[in-house]
Amino acid sequence: MARRHFDIRAQTGFGTIALFTFAALYLPIATLVAYAFNASESVSNWEGLSLRWFVSASNNVAVQDAAWRSLVIAVCAATVATVAATMAAIATTRTPRYRGLGFKYAFINQPLMVPEIVTAVALLIVFSRIKVWTGYSGLGYLVLAHTAFCIPFAYLPIRARLENMDLTLERAAADLYATPWMTFRRVTLPLLRPGIIAGFMLAFVISLDDVVITEFVKSGGQDTLPTYMLGQLRRTVTPEVNAIATAFLALSVVLVTVFFFINRKKN
């Protein structure tokens, strides 16, 4: 008697559970996006379609400053995190296994395992002492905090790319008397480029969306776009916040989609 192939989609209630799950995940987001185009000043009363709140948000100086600050921090943090993650990935994959390697994996991925609020409080304590000693209170603290938090997110796709790479070309380069640096520059780096780009994009999105660490580390007048939106929700809620969130969502979706396709690229 032939064994029947197990198919989860054929199980009783699978369709109902799947529909309920997707509704729970995406119905609130769809509602937010829909009300971003609401002509009314109320977030609960629908008065027709309008781009009024997108125009209002784009002309808001506070939104412009917060958006620019978010982009600067995200680009700087993602760049530094990607460089550090690339070096860490090479150091932990292009070496024979040894005692303590597993500890290094755990150490690099520590921000993924520790609650974000714990990391935020720890950074707040450290940076508050440094501010007292140095008198400096610029954006450097936010860049450092975001970099530390983004390193494991950049590390994962880069390490995955390295582990799946064929070592034949690297060995051939070594056999042809190429130096380690030349082998890395001419062979390893071109093959690793999709993973590096994917790691950068993932780190960029994580930094751009961060609220908890930013809220604890930032000084006065250093609101990013997420913390600005949080502050507005504490005051008066208008569809302008929905418009900002919709634009934020669109940017995140585009970046994550590009990351997905780059990460799927064949060797």
From CA 127, how far away is CA 137, in angstroms rounded? 9
- pLDDT reported for residue 213: 92
Q: What is the pLDDT of residues 87-145, one digit of tens each?
A: 988 888 877 777 777 777 777 877 788 888 988 999 999 998 888 898 888 888 999 99
Give the residue among 78, 103, 58 at the shortest CA–CA distance from 225: 58
Residue 186: pLDDT above 50? yes
From CA 89, how far away is CA 108, in angstroms rounded? 10
Give the residue among 155, 72, 140 at the shortest CA–CA distance from 110: 155
Over 36-49, what HEC string results? HCECCCCCCCCCCE
Q: What is the pLDDT of residues 217-238, one digit of tens each?
A: 988 788 898 888 888 777 777 7
Beta bridge partners of 38: 49
Query: 259: left (phi > 0), else alpha (psi -120 to 50), else beta?
Result: alpha
Give 142's contacts (C-beta < 8 A, 6+ positions apart): 73, 77, 214, 217, 218, 222, 224
- The C-alpha angle 198, 200, 204, rounded to 5 degrees, equals 120
Q: Are 85 and 162 in contact (CB under 8 A)?
A: no
From CA 170, how far away is CA 184, in angstroms rounded? 8
Q: What is the pLDDT of residues 19-74, one digit of tens each?
A: 888 888 888 888 888 888 888 777 677 777 888 888 888 888 888 898 899 999 99
- The residue-averaged pLDDT of 74-88 equals 93
Q: Where in the chain is the domain with CATH 1.10.3720.10?
A: 60-263
Q: At what angle do helices 140-164 and 61-93 cross, to 10 degrees?
A: 40
- pTM for this entry: 0.81
Confidence of residue 16 (pLDDT cuts 50, 70, 90): confident
- The residue-averaged pLDDT of 176-191 equals 82
Residue 266: pLDDT above 60? no
Task: Report the sign of the C-alpha dihedral through residues 115, 121, 125, 131, in that order.
Answer: positive
Confidence of residue 85 (pLDDT cuts 50, 70, 90): very high
**Element containing residue 112 per DSSP (H, E):** helix 110-113
Q: What 3-state class would DSSP assign to 172?
A: helix
Domain 60-263 maps to which CATH number in 3.30.70.1450, 1.10.3720.10, 3.40.630.40, 3.40.718.10? 1.10.3720.10
Q: What is the pLDDT of residues 142-168, one digit of tens each?
A: 999 999 899 999 998 898 888 887 777
